Amino acid sequence: MNYLLDTNVVIGILRGRSRPLLSRYMTVPRVRLCTCSPVRAELYYGSLRSAKPAENRKKQEELLDGLPTYDFDDRAAEAYAQARAYVEAGGTLIGSMDYLIAAIAIANDLVLVTHNVRDFARIPGLSYDDWEV
């Protein structure tokens, strides 16, 4: 089983404030971890808006160095359409980047590691895990 790290998880690891998150992160072999282009986009945007853009970007790059990055492809596009149609038919919305991240996880049979369980739990077919509990 491979794990796709959500944006909030990468930030949590970098900040080092959650013992459960750090403990779980340290026990999973790096070869089982990955990221995706929407997560990287959110991280890069966040670092640009921070008080220390270069320093934060460097920390992000060091953490993500060597991790596979999954892109949004045609399989993810199909998963995105199904997830968004289902969630919105229920009368709720989630963030547009969250749909992209979930779709990439579904299309590539990855477990999404996130602390945003409230939103991601609405997406059928998505495997997710919260390492902060």
Mean pLDDT of the chain: 98
Q: Domain 3-129: which topology?
A: Rossmann fold (3.40.50)
Place of tokens 């997560």: 39
Per residue in 5-45, pLDDT (tens digit) is: 999 999 999 999 999 999 999 999 999 999 999 999 999 99
Per residue in 51-65, pLDDT (tens digit) is: 999 999 999 999 999
- Enumerate the domain spans of the chain: 3-129
DSSP string, 2-65: -EEEPHHHHHHHHHT--HHHHHHHHHS-GGGEEEEHHHHHHHHHHHHHSSSHHHHHHHHHHHHT
Name residues whose C-beta falls within 8 Å of residue 15's C-beta, 6 or more positions apart in sequence. none
Task: Provide the 10 A C-beta neighbour count for residue 31.
Answer: 10
